[in-house]
Each structure stands twice: as C-alpha cells, then as structure tokens.
Structure 1
Amino acid sequence: MTNADIVFTPAARRAMEARGSLKAYERRLTEGFPNTVTPELASFIAEQDMAFLATATADGAPYIQHRGGPKGFIKVIDERTLGFADYRGNRQYITVANLSENDRAYLFLLDPARRQRVKLWGRARIVEDDPALIERLFDTGYKAKPERAILFTIEAWDVNCSQHIVTRFSEADIEQALGPEMAKMKARIAELEAENARLKAQGQPADEPSR
C-alpha cells in the first residue's frame, strides 16, 4: 500500500476505470506521491501569500477557509510539517472546531502570477499553548494578532496542471516588475493630486487647466 490510496480512493479508482483514465496513473498508483518538503516545494511555499485550508466535521461536512498573510507566511517546520500563525478573525472558529474532532485536512496553494498550483493532503492540529511556536510563525511587522498556530503534517502532495488558471498579479508583483517606473508613476500621481488640491482651494475646476 502506498499513499496513493489517500489521493486515489477506491471510489476514485472506480470512476477513473469507468472513464478510461486509470491506466494513465498506474505508475503513480504503484509509486505513490511525495510526502516530504523538497527544495522545489519549499521555494514555492515561500512565495505564497494565500492558501485555502479544507477541513471537515466528524461526519464529513466540508469547510474551506481562505488563509493569508505576508509572502511566505506558511513556514516549513521540518521535512513533513508546515505551520502558520492563525490570526484573530470573525471568531466563528469553524476550522478550530473541525480539527478538534477530525484532523484530516487539505491545503490548496494557488499562484496566479506564475500559473502554478500545489495540492497537499494531510493532518492538521491546533496549537494554542506554545508562545514560542506562535512567535516563530508570526511575521514581525504584520498588522494582525496571532491567536494560535496551525501545524499541517503532509501525507501526500502533487502539482496540479496550470489549465484554466487566469494570470493575475498582486500589487507587490506589479511594483517589483515595474521597478523605477513605478516610483516615477507614484511621484507623478502625487504631483497631480497636489495640483488638483491647489486648484480646488482656488475654486477652479480640476479639469480646467490653470493659466
């Protein structure tokens, strides 16, 4: 038995066989999936500023929650464990409750700018009584209050295809790409805003050129 059983359950295999795709995954079924953090995975995780964490109740009702923070907010603890700080939010505690009765979890990492995504199956647990761990996972200077830590133990992971990922860039990505041009653009915007304020103070319409 390999950890392929986690990804390709008996029901999934029956569905694949019925639709003619099972044979294409024979090697993966035999060898299984990676379950440790490779340098490539660590590099990918370090670039992410958001993730989707899936949990379920004891009877299997699913729940997905968006998690975010500074780039690299998910930290590699060891070759099998990821961790991140859990910040104060809407105080519904659905994820906390789910993990208290069912530790199965799933992380979906999506990088729209690079059109890449990674799927991770595993187990997760809440840690609320370890200030040192929470401090280790907290990004200094980030404007949020960490209340606890979530540790995710990897059981299997896989790289998903890039099909249908729409390329999107964050503000930080755009600023980095434009470099000095972004600084010039911001300076010009500041000039125009100052000019607009001056004209308003003089009672002159902002769209009418000064004479």
Structure 2
Amino acid sequence: MKEFKLNPDFAIADELALRGLFEATHALAVQKCQDSLGKHAQEFIRRSPFLCIGTQSPDGKADVSPRGDPVGFVKILDERTLAIPDRPGNNRLDSLVNILANPNVGLLFIIPGFDDTLRVNGQASLTTDPDLLQSMSVNDRAPKLAIVVEVNEVFLHCAKAFRRSHLWDPGHFQDRSEMPSLVKIILDQTTGAPSDENEMRKIDADLEDAYKRTLY
C-alpha cells in the first residue's frame, strides 16, 4: 500500500478555518451540556453495561479503553461522582497509568439497542477503598481498585453515528469467522502463528477457557 501524505494546501490549521466549514452550533447543542448528573443521565448510566474511557499519557498520546459488566456496573455515588470497577484484564494498565499522570478523562456510555449515547467528562482518581470495592463485587469477587470520576460535563449525544453505522441492525452484522481469531492475529503480528490448524484451534480454545475463568 502506498504511503499517504496529507496535502498541506487542504489542511485545517486553526479553529477559525474549521468553524468556517460548518453552520453555527444549535443553541440546544450548547445548552444541553450539564455540570452534574441529572435524573435522565443517572437512569442512562444505570441501564448501561458498557462504556469507553478516554485517557492521555504523560507524553500526550491518546488512549481509549472499553469497560463492560452487568447492567448498572458503574456506581453513582452522588450527582457529581461516579465509580467504575477495574476488572481483570491484560495488565498493561494503560488507562490507570495515564490517570495517575493526567486525571482528565472522557466517558462514553452505550446501551444495546439505544442509538443515543451519554458523554461524561471529568477528573479521575484511583482508589482501593474496601467498602466501595466490596459494593462492586460480582460472583463474590471484588475489583482490585476503582476509578472514581469527579464529573464536570454531561450531555446526551445524538443518534446519527449509530444510525449511519446500523450498529444494532442484525442485517448489517458481519461474520466474525471471515477474519482470523484474536490470538492468531496477535501471533501473526509477533512471534508467528502455528501452521498446524489443530494447534491453532487448541490455542483459541484455551483463550475461551481463560475468558470463563478470569472474567472476575
């Protein structure tokens, strides 16, 4: 594939040039932004089994991480504070390390079947408060820590992206088998995947077994 290079003649370099491409922001788009969790935002969060958290590393590199659990896994501590349990993962700890260096985070809450999403921005901190962690136990297993977010910006995002993508439409679902498995992709990119199909199937099966044993 030929390397792409941006033509500087068409680059947008400042906010004035950017805003010149668009109509003025609708008044409601500005007014809808709240500084705390109202009743509708709280209800949305209680229904959500999934969110993405955006963080930034000390050297300015952006990162987005998915978080999922049973419906309502994010605890609403008060109108300005949320707590997100940190479940077992790959132990890269990218988001957590980033939060220690830069507490500013962005959250996107998603509810299956809903085309609108909830955006929450704020400052995060990490805690091992045993009472809080115990309250977020699943299958009698408490998380090792929680991400506590002090909320300063909340608003619902419109449905256009989900409508355009047909995200929840089964008629647009793709066949996962048309791409290699997760493990094979990673092995292809690193040490190399085994050529023997039976060996590869065993590695895939081991991952599925690990999912069952280590979700919590």
Corresponding residue for residue 212 of structure 2: none
1:60 maps to 2:60: yes
The corresponding residue for 1:146 is: 143
Q: Which runs of 4+ in 1 moved over 6 A?
A: none
- Asked which structure has the greater CA Rg, the reply is 1
Cα deviation, 1:59-115, whole Å, max 9, x if unaligned, reads 220111100111000110111011121112111111111011100100011224021
Answer yes or no: is 1:133 the counterpart of 2:170: no
Identity percentage of aligned residues: 22
TM-score, with normalisation over the residues of structure 2?
0.64
Q: Which residue of 1 aligns with 2:119?
A: 119
1:203 aligned partner: none
1:49 matched to which residue of 2? 49
Partner of 1:44, secondary structure, is helix
Cα distance, 1:14 vs structure 2: 3.0
- C-alpha contact 1:82 1:153 (8 A) present in aligned 2: yes
Q: Which moved more, 1:86-95 or 1:160-169?
A: 160-169
Q: How does 1:36-185 map to 2 (within 5 A)?
A: 36-128=36-128, 130-136=129-135, 138-141=136-139, 145-165=142-162, 166=166, 168=168
Cα RMSD over matched residues? 2.4
Output the CA distance in 2 between the equivalents of 1:127 and 1:15: 43
- What letter is aligned with 1:152? V
In the alignment, is the contact (CA less than 8 A) between 2:49 and 2:110 conserved in 1? Answer: no
Flag structure 1 segments of 5+ consecutive residues without an equivalent.
1-10, 170-211
* Secondary structure in structure 2 of the residue aligned to 1:24: coil
Point out the more displaced range, 109-118 or 81-90: 109-118
| Equivalent AA in structure 1 for residue 49 of structure 2 | D
Change (3 A) 1:91 1:24: closer
Q: 1:132 to 1:15 in 2, by over 3 A?
A: farther
Structure 2 gaps, min length 5: 1-12, 170-216
Q: Is the 8 A contact 1:112 1:167 kept in 2?
A: no
Specify the code of the residue in structure 2 equivalent to 1:74.
V
